[in-house]
Structure 1
């Protein structure tokens, strides 16, 4: 089993398990397949008038809510390496962004309930910068609550150490 927080030779990183992205993505795929089957039943004329309304609403809502999750998990499954963020003594790296520790004021975990389009919003690490802006690091539902809290504690502790060293 892969640990969410690992050390590497020149820093640390928060990793996710590809197996988590695979099983969650597979579950989303099955649900999307069910939505397509509902639409096929309508197109094929096997549904009665009232069923047509229910099936079409269920299929459209299912695709609307689950479709983005499927593509998010698929993108995380194919990403190499399986790292949410990494850091060393100088900065945090989130994808292509690199933020020096000296610019970060605090780190928190935010868990928005829903986006404005009713889509599922994943928990994220929020880096509050000294210039008043924020940088968000999406976790894409790939870490458990325990893993999120462990990673947050480690990030906060590292930030504190970096602030004391300067």
Structure 2
């Protein structure tokens, strides 16, 4: 499928939105589940005493680290795959709508793609759309690793163009 089907928009008067493919969340969640099963298998090998002393240490560390790093991703993809709506964010003439809030266009200063970094618990943070507000604060919209680089870039460009149009209308 083309990326255009994942970043959807209608005419200016309609509600525009950016959505992800549920199948992406499903296959990435399945990969995480397989990796978690591998971690459980390593712990089972230790429990049944099939591993030597040195292997036991390696297997235990690998299993715990694997669960620590991949476990949250599995639940994130599971949540996205089973969510009732695949819309990440939407907007209309009023503002940008996320699951939690609405941000008015006249409050937004700029929109950028924030690069991922590790969290304080050394967990993977997904790329996010950053809305910089005129009061100096920021709102982040997580993309949860559900878009390719090209799809993320298209979404940012679409939002930035819409913001520019709204700012020109206000002046």
Q: Could you state the TM-score of these two structures normalised by the residue count of structure 1?
A: 0.96
**Equivalent residues in 2 for 1:6-155, closer than 5 Å:** 6-8=8-10, 10-155=14-159
Verify the 8 A CA contact 1:4 1:15 in the aligned structure 2.
yes
Output the CA distance in 2 between the equivalents of 1:111 and 1:20.
20
- Kindly indicate which of the two structures has a greater share of residues assigned to strand: 1
Q: Which runs of 5+ in 1 are unaligned?
A: none
Structure 2 unaligned residues grouped into runs of 5+:
none
Tell me, what secondary structure is at the counterpart of 2:50? coil
Q: CA deviation at 1:8?
A: 4.9
Superposed CA deviations along residues 83-104 of structure 1, whole A, max 9, x for unmatched, are: 1100001110111211111100
CA distance in 1, matches of 2:95, 2:119: 29
Question: What TM-score, normalized by structure 2, do the two folds share?
Answer: 0.94
Cα contact 1:93–1:99 (8 A) shared by 2: yes
Structure 2 CA distance, aligned partners of 1:50 and 1:20?
38
CA RMSD of aligned residues (A): 1.2
Aligned residues: 166
